[in-house]
A and B are shown apart, each in its own frame.
Chain A
């Protein structure tokens, strides 16, 4: 399989602070990888750059053969890169089902359908996605009353609605119980293995990282300091020092 995402020498500064400093990264189609790094390493900024929420100061992002570094977020999503947020970012005054249906209809290009009936479009696909994210039993619940773990699942469901080729997950299991973490990562693995969706995620929980990523990139102060297979990272002195704060 070819390269799905190719990032070259990406820089981004906020004021005088260079948060992303010359990051280059290639992602093979069908892979499942993690980016780790301490707080403030620039992981979320990196995702914001990839998805068009921030514009890079310089550098290029080629996704699926097309330069996307200057596209607005909605156009990047339509090209097949979607993301789930670290802090659940959902439509709180709509039901879980309406949340997903809205995203599915956006993917179907129905957003500007002013006179059609929303209740009859994309409902099958919405149910399918809720089923996949084990939220089917909460379909009619108003999103504002969901527990933290379910909010994160809904976050994932919204990201799936656009039928992505590349899924960026920013700490997908943050705030989840052990059981929910296990369940969610099983879903993510399934998306990767059975649907062939390429996954790039950040995570603080090292057991999740080492069990679910096939390659790990370590980001520190906006730079890539190590990259390799889980075992290599585990034994990488530099990564241990900056990430775990100790030499072993």
Chain B
């Protein structure tokens, strides 16, 4: 299937595979972060780029996944079996929460969807923050060690690389499936989709759960990576990160959010090393992107190279978020 489409991604993953060979722990860990946050951003983009709704609460599922892995890890220790089980459990746990929250949020679109996701995200943040006996409250959970062979940053990096590459393929399949095209149709014109015989709310709900599950896995990878979890993983500032990444890379391209994560994470690492004004820098970057490259970096590059609109969802003529369903 059209290698040219997945070529750049192959180069990306090949590059990620050789980063640890340079021997720098710092850069290896940056690369791991790029991958995990890239998965998080791609899961977010199922909702934004493909379904046309913007979520400001997606970090809830990232955080829930991280806590699921952390709490199982804390309870059962870190031998290999328990570690991988703890990691895997981030998926169903996040999916269950996404199923419950999704049941409510998909009933609204546009700005109301955005606000509802944010409200539920903050609700989950508060629950985690205040359930001191279960989650450790604002202290979070510390000392989460992966099993011995996965403790070296380079080893953990390769585990993350495998998981994220697998998810990349799965997400690609989903976006190319009949379901993926139905999502695009819902994004373009939800009202019309009902009249081709599709239960729009149910489709949106399924997608919300799928996106939550992938975000949960990203969180599950994150907890052992940083050896800790804290409630801030669920809050709305954290939810803003995949929004930025998707916009920087290009929400209307499949791999855009992944490249967005690369740019965002590298920029973050570099800027925070030289100045404390990170917010100022990312703010300027976002202004630049929205005005000069609204289709994101990948979107802009693709537009130079080929006609838009066949494989990846083409860029919208008007912002999707601002236009709740009519009629």
- Chain B residue numbers with a CB within 8 Å of A95 are 309-310
- Chain A residue numbers with a CB within 8 Å of B327 are 53
CA distance A107 to B193 in the complex (A): 11
In the complex, A119 has a CB within 8 A of chain B? yes
Pair B182/A106 contact, Cβ less than 8 Å: yes
Pair B178/A102 contact, Cβ less than 8 Å: yes
Interface residues in B274-327 (C-beta closer than 8 Å to A): 308-310, 313-317, 327
Residue ID in chain A nearest B201 by CB atoms: A72
CA distance A92 to B199 in the complex (A): 20
In the complex, B15 has a CB within 8 A of chain A? no
Which one of A15-23, A109-117, A182-190, A239-247 contacts B? A109-117
In the complex, B234 has a CB within 8 A of chain A? no
CA distance A114 to B203 in the complex (A): 11
- Chain A residue numbers with a CB within 8 Å of B310 are 95, 140
Pair A111/B184 contact, Cβ less than 8 Å: no
Kindly identify which residue among A74, A102, A107, A158 contacts B200, using a CB–CB cutoff of 8 Å.
A74
In the complex, B114 has a CB within 8 A of chain A? no
Interface residues in B1-49 (C-beta closer than 8 Å to A): 1
Residue ID in chain B nearest A100 by CB atoms: B196
Kindly identify which residue among B174, B181, B191, B210 contacts A102, using a CB–CB cutoff of 8 Å.
B181
Q: Say yes or no: A82-B195 contact (C-beta < 8 A), given A89-B189, A115-B173.
A: yes
- Chain B residue numbers with a CB within 8 Å of A106 are 182, 193, 196-198
Pair A112/B192 contact, Cβ less than 8 Å: no
Per-residue contact bits, chain B 152-194, to A (CB 8 Å; 1 contact, 0 not): 0000000000000000001001101111111011011101111
Pair B197/A105 contact, Cβ less than 8 Å: no
Pair B194/A73 contact, Cβ less than 8 Å: yes
How near does chain B come to A101, taking the closest CB pair, in angstroms? 7
In the complex, B72 has a CB within 8 A of chain A? no
In the complex, A121 has a CB within 8 A of chain B? yes
In the complex, A27 has a CB within 8 A of chain B? no
Pair A94/B184 contact, Cβ less than 8 Å: yes
- Chain A residue numbers with a CB within 8 Å of B188 are 90-94
In the complex, A51 has a CB within 8 A of chain B? yes
Kindly identify which residue among B173, B197, B309, B313 contacts A77, using a CB–CB cutoff of 8 Å.
B197
Pair A74/B210 contact, Cβ less than 8 Å: no
How near does chain B come to A89, taking the closest CB pair, in angstroms? 5
In the complex, B271 has a CB within 8 A of chain A? no
How near does chain B come to A100, taking the closest CB pair, in angstroms? 10
- Chain B residue numbers with a CB within 8 Å of A140 are 310
Pair B192/A111 contact, Cβ less than 8 Å: no
In the complex, B206 has a CB within 8 A of chain A? yes
Q: Say yes or no: A102-B182 contact (C-beta < 8 A), given A114-B177, A117-B177, A118-B177.
A: yes
Pair B182/A111 contact, Cβ less than 8 Å: yes
In the complex, A60 has a CB within 8 A of chain B? no
Q: Say yes or no: A161-B178 contact (C-beta < 8 A), given A93-B316, A94-B309.
A: no
- Chain B residue numbers with a CB within 8 Å of A220 are none
Residue ID in chain B nearest A91 by CB atoms: B188
Q: Say yes or no: A105-B182 contact (C-beta < 8 A), given A94-B309, A119-B176.
A: yes
B→A interface (CB under 8 Å): 1, 170, 173-174, 176-182, 184-185, 187-189, 191-200, 203, 206, 210, 308-310, 313-317, 327
A→B interface (CB under 8 Å): 51, 53, 72-74, 77-78, 82-83, 85, 89-95, 98-99, 101-103, 105-107, 110-119, 121, 140, 142, 144, 158-159, 161-162
Give me 20 other A-B pairs in contact (C-beta within 8 A), A78-B197, A114-B174 excluded: A73-B194, A77-B194, A91-B192, A92-B189, A93-B187, A93-B313, A93-B317, A102-B185, A103-B196, A105-B182, A106-B197, A111-B178, A114-B210, A115-B170, A117-B177, A121-B178, A140-B310, A142-B314, A158-B195, A161-B196
6 tightest A-B contacts by CB? A77-B197, A103-B196, A91-B188, A73-B194, A110-B178, A105-B178
23 contacts between A and B (CB under 8 A): A74-B194, A74-B199, A82-B197, A85-B192, A90-B192, A91-B188, A91-B189, A93-B187, A94-B184, A94-B188, A95-B310, A98-B184, A102-B184, A105-B178, A111-B198, A114-B177, A114-B206, A115-B170, A115-B174, A118-B176, A118-B180, A119-B176, A142-B308
